[in-house]
Amino acid sequence: MSDHTRHTGAMLASPRCGAKTRSGGACRAPAVRGKRRCRMHGGAEGSGAPLANRNAHKHGLFSNAAIAERREIRMLLGEARKLLNEMK
């Protein structure tokens, strides 16, 4: 045994992070004080997804307007193909 005592009792008794790892097990890191997650899984200040889902509005590729526009373009192209086939 070493000549000094490590005081790890408080850390070992602290609540653990509730996140699941990619292997399916539980994260073994201690949770941030007052939170249910560790600093790596969203307990740290400023971590986590932005409010109001701002990630989804980066380019608008999947907005309702863009989807409707692509749908209309496909319909017009289909009609143009039919017209060209009729002209042959």
Number of domains in the chain: 2
User: Does 67 lie in the same domain as 44?
Assistant: no
Give the single-character DSSP code of 2: -
Q: Do 10 and 34 fall within a single domain?
A: yes
Q: Tokens standing for 21?
A: 């790892």
Residue 47 has pLDDT above 80, yes or no: no
- For residue 30, the enclosing domain spans 1-48
* Pair 44, 66 in one domain: no
- pTM for the predicted model, two decimal places: 0.43
pLDDT at 34: 86
Give yes or no: residues 44 and 63 share one domain.
no
| Residue 51: strand pairing partners | none
Q: Both 30 and 61 in a single domain? A: no
Residues 74-87 pLDDT 10s? 999 999 999 999 99
Backbone φ and ψ for 22, nearest 5 degrees, come out as: -65, -25
67 and 34 in a common domain:
no
Site of tokens 């941030």: 32
